[in-house]
Structure 1
Amino acid sequence: METKISHYYLIVDLEATYCNNGTIPRHEMEIIEIGAVMLNRETWEIDSEFQQFIQPVRHQQLTSFCTELTSIRQQDVDEAPKFLEAISRFKEWIYSFPNHIFCSWGNYDKKQFIQDCAYHNFSYPFISEHINIKEEFSEYLGVSKKFGMAQALTELGIELKGTHHRGIDDARNIATIYKQIKTKKLS
């Protein structure tokens, strides 16, 4: 009996050390949460999830803006592993799923991974192409406007689940959007 290899969309959403007053330059932002889901390309169900807080090293104290935006507490990151341990766990998880394609809402997540991997001298963990679901959503609607993830859910008549700007919840919501646009295209 031949075993069929599953193919997955690896949908990732990152949260980072944000500030709204310029005290943390863009090039010094660090990932503080990886939220990811494996969306099965055959069943359109989430087969597995990954969530990991990460302890920042450049700007160790979260700004009040960051905490208010993400609901991630200082204690969450203080008790978390540093980047190298966290990204190693993440890499081990993603490579337990064959033939995955890295996807995110926009290009921010890809750029942040590249930046953090370079800073920590860790090889970029994705060997696949990158799909920008934000762009695909605009193409699906036939518009040039770029939607935020929450706006896209509203546009589709889908309720946002969980906490907006929490990596794992946003990854789940992005998976819901992608399932909707991909299955509508196919039907």
Structure 2
Amino acid sequence: MQLLIKRGGCHVKRWGQLDALRQQLGESRWLLCVDLEATCDDYPAGLDEAARNAHVLEVQRHDMEPIEIGIALLDVQLEYRIVDHFGQFVRPLLRPKLTEFCTGLTGISQSDVDTAERFAVVQDQLDDWLAPRDTEGWRWCSWGDYDRKQLKEDAIRAGVDVLLDPARHINLKKCFWKIFACRALGLKCAVESIGLSWEGKHHRAIDDGAVTAVPWKRIVSIKGCFHAERCRCEWWFPRKRVVTANGCFHGNKGSCE
């Protein structure tokens, strides 16, 4: 994963939200940026409405399970420097065979998950990795609320305690749109909107976990007014609605996911 700084970006509109976020983060030494990849399916391209309604997805939303957990560990006292990583594949239980859509989206192969441990074992490995950070305190964040909900569902399904306490979770996606007074953005589009260019594999947990740390560090380090050129996601300016090529104005799937 490579992120290149480029000219341009959005600017802070709600400084009170940013100050509140900084205060919240200052209560702990460590910040975990977490991302999950999960079993999934999608409709084949070219289906008309009738065919789409008749098509049954191999993986329904309530059947989704993590197949990869990626975490970037940031040291708050070192200006949010990434100091460690955790990454493991997870073997799904409900739908052990990955769909063609899933492997194409993530690049995760069937052999990757066939040789992986079940969720409960991976959670134990994560617990061991996280234990040395307990004394100085930690919080965790993700881009959106999906990861928090999915980890809770899988802990219940596996009959284990929820390791990453939901009460310690910060929804960075929500923080982003509150601070910049914009509509909710996907991770890739948000990274590009603050003046960074994303080059690498999207929809891989270890990469996305590390990339989630980038806008976080960039946001909390902002001093004064962050004026810059408008980013290509400038559709949130009400007097100049621009539908970008990736369709992010309508929230469609694309490079902004």
Q: Same fold judged by TM-score > 0.5? A: yes
Structure 1 unmatched ranges of 5 or more: none
Q: Distance in 2 between matches of 1:155 and 1:65?
A: 28
Structure 1 residue 166: deviation in Å?
0.1
Matched, 1:181 2:219: yes
Matched, 1:36 2:71: yes
Kindly provide the amino acid, as one letter, of the partner of residue 19 in structure 1: D
Kindly provide the amino acid, as one letter, of the partner of residue 68 in structure 2: E
Kindly provide the amino acid, as one letter, of the partner of residue 121 in structure 1: G
Structure 1 residue 96: deviation in Å?
2.1
Structure 1 residue 154: deviation in Å?
1.0
Residue identity (%): 36
Match of 1:27 among 62, 76, 87: 62
Matched, 1:60 2:96: yes
Q: Distance in 1 between matches of 2:29 and 2:224?
A: 17
Q: Distance in 2 between matches of 1:161 and 1:139?
A: 26
| Residues 31, 76 of structure 2: 8 Å contact kept | yes
Kindly provide the amino acid, as one letter, of the partner of residue 96 in structure 1: P
Match of 1:92 among 117, 125, 128: 128
SS at match of 1:95: helix
Matched, 1:49 2:85: yes
Report which structure shows greater RCO (CA 8 Å, sep ≥6): 2
Kindly provide the amino acid, as one letter, of the partner of residue 10 in structure 1: L
> What is the match of residue 187 of structure 2?
149
Structure 2 unmatched ranges of 5 or more: 1-26, 44-56, 226-257
Structure 1 residue 161: deviation in Å?
4.6
Matched, 1:160 2:212: no
> What is the match of residue 162 of structure 2?
124
> What is the match of residue 14 of structure 1?
36
Structure 1 residue 23: deviation in Å?
2.0
| Residues 190, 215 of structure 2: 8 Å contact kept | yes
> What is the match of residue 71 of structure 1?
107
Kindly provide the amino acid, as one letter, of the partner of residue 133 in structure 1: L
Higher-Rg structure is 2
Counterparts in 2 of 1:109 and 1:185: CA distance versus 1, 3 Å: farther
Counterparts in 2 of 1:142 and 1:82: CA distance versus 1, 3 Å: same
Structure 1 residue 117: deviation in Å?
0.5
Deviations 1:26-53 (A, max 9, x none): 1111110000011111211111100000
CA RMSD between the two structures: 1.7
Counterparts in 2 of 1:162 and 1:155: CA distance versus 1, 3 Å: same
TM-score, reference length from structure 1? 0.92
Matched, 1:101 2:136: no
Q: Distance in 1 between matches of 2:96 and 2:179?
A: 40
> What is the match of residue 244 of structure 2?
none
Kindly provide the amino acid, as one letter, of the partner of residue 179 in structure 2: Y
SS at match of 1:160: strand
> What is the match of residue 209 of structure 2?
171
SS at match of 1:146: coil
Match of 1:139 among 149, 161, 178: 178
**Off by >3 Å, runs of 4+ in structure 1:** none
Deviations 1:139-169 (A, max 9, x none): 22122x0000000011012122531000010
SS at match of 1:42: helix
Q: Distance in 1 between matches of 2:223 and 2:86?
A: 28
| Residues 6, 40 of structure 1: 8 Å contact kept | no
Q: Distance in 2 between matches of 1:118 and 1:186?
A: 45
